[in-house]
Amino acid sequence: MSHSSPPEGWSRALQALWWDARDDWDRAHGLVQMDEADRQCAWVHAYLHRKEGDLSNAAYWYRRAGQPVATGSLTQERQAIADAMIRDASRKE
């Protein structure tokens, strides 16, 4: 988080989580909107709308991502999404 941008090679979804952690919701949202068919982007999109307070829009994106609607803290959800994406990426290597 000490760098001015996310690491090279990260997926749009992970980059979006990085920007969100830096309190740049708009940049994070813009990234996930670039690939709305991607399930990981849809999951981050859901999280971002939940954070925004737009729960009906969030529910739509959770369905698109194939994920249950989150109910825990936003920080825990962001970490859980990141952990799942990192695990998924390491399996593909």
pTM: 0.91
Residue range 54-64: average pLDDT? 98
Q: Does residue 45 register a pLDDT over 90?
A: yes
Q: Cα–Cα distance between 47 and 9 in angstroms, integer? A: 22
Q: How far is CA 3 from CA 6, 14, 22, 80, in A?
A: 7, 15, 11, 22
Q: Does residue 1 register a pLDDT over 60?
A: no
What phi and psi, each to the nearest 5 degrees, are found at residue 37? -80, -20
Q: Which residues, at least 6 apart from 2, have a Cβ–Cβ distance to it below 8 Å?
A: none
Please calculate the CA angle 77-79-55 and round it to the nearest 5 degrees: 20
- DSSP letters of 15-49? HHHHHHHTT-HHHHHHHHHTTTTSHHHHHHHHHHH
Which pLDDT belongs to residue 80? Answer: 95
